[in-house]
Copies of this chain bind each other. A is one copy, B any other.
Amino acid sequence: MFRSRLEEAAGAVQAHLDATMAPLGDLPVVQAMRYASAGGKRLRAFLVLESARLHGVAAANAIWPAAAIEAIHAYSLVHDDLPCMDDDALRRGLPTVHVKWDETTAVLAGDALQSFGFECVSRAECHADPLVRAELTVSLARAAGAQGMVLGQALDIAAETATTPLTLAEITRLQAGKTGALIAWSAMAGAVMARAETAALHRYADKLGLAFQIADDILDVEGDAAKLGKAVGKDADAGKATFVSLLGLDGAKTRARELVEEACAALDPYGAEAATLREAARFVIARDS
């Protein structure tokens, strides 16, 4: 069920991104926007669509925040790969934007993808109720900005030059911003669109986001670069504290499994309807890419 729904979500969000970006023309910066926002697991889009389904929100509406979050995620990857950031040449098995084009195009394509994401959640087609659109927008801005994803990035960079390695509490805070904020926004989007309570999905997403990051750290140690489509072992080479360096490989795996069970339990109010989201949580720590 989960695998087929994930594939369905990936197909739907790609078609929507293609259609919505079509009027933007074909300059290199727009080609780079399309390239950077293609592919990937589409976990964030899936969370949006699945939390919307759980609340009876029409897929024709939910596809807008799904496209928005993938655009914001794509912008963050393009900028994160820049030489002055992580300096990565490979992403999803393909050359990164600044390698395929140049740094200028990567900066601008990332910038325009961010604007595009905000356009997707504020357009009239996204939801009949403008209050919902405004709430999706303000929460997305906070999740992406200096109290969310950029905060996590900034803490990550500060850690690189710190004299002492990060503690578990510090790395948890860093990751809550860097990857957790967008994942939490995605999982709550359906409840926001239905004007329903977001607390259960928020708890689910917090656990899921942390499990996701621990799994990423495990993959950086145990993963296969070919399957991941990016370099591995970068954290250890850089001497960075990770969940694996702090908890050990077995400890990290145990913690990830606990978090997934806590994430699944948080969905109890939804009963059996939330089975696919529970499968998604289990997938997050079982994936090989």
Interface residues, chain A, with chain B CB atoms under 8 Å away: 23-25, 27-30, 33, 75-76, 79, 82, 84-85, 102-105, 107-108, 110-112, 114-116, 118-119, 122-124, 129-131, 133-134, 137-138, 140-142, 144-148, 150-151, 153-155, 157-158
CB pair B137–A23 under 8 Å, yes or no, is: no
| Residues of B with C-beta under 8 A to A145 | 112, 115-116, 119
Known A119-B141, A134-B134; further 6 A-B contacts with Cβ < 8 A: A82-B107, A84-B104, A112-B145, A112-B146, A122-B137, A123-B138
Partner of A108, one of B104, B124, B154: B154
CB pair B85–A107 under 8 Å, yes or no, is: yes
Partner of A158, one of B24, B27, B103, B138: B27
CB pair B154–A29 under 8 Å, yes or no, is: yes
| Residues of B with C-beta under 8 A to A82 | 107
With the chains together, A84 CA to B130 CA distance in Å? 39
| Residues of B with C-beta under 8 A to A76 | 111
Are A141 and B154 CB-contacts (below 8 A) given A104-B85, A111-B79, A146-B33?
A: no
Partner of A118, one of B123, B141, B148: B141
| Residues of B with C-beta under 8 A to A153 | 29, 108
| Residues of B with C-beta under 8 A to A27 | 146, 151, 154-155, 158
* Nearest CB on B from A129, distance (A): 8
* Nearest CB on B from A214, distance (A): 24
Are A142 and B119 CB-contacts (below 8 A) given A114-B111, A137-B134?
A: yes
CB pair A150–B29 under 8 Å, yes or no, is: yes
With the chains together, A156 CA to B131 CA distance in Å? 37
CB pair B107–A146 under 8 Å, yes or no, is: no
* Nearest CB on B from A273, distance (A): 29
CB pair B115–A144 under 8 Å, yes or no, is: yes
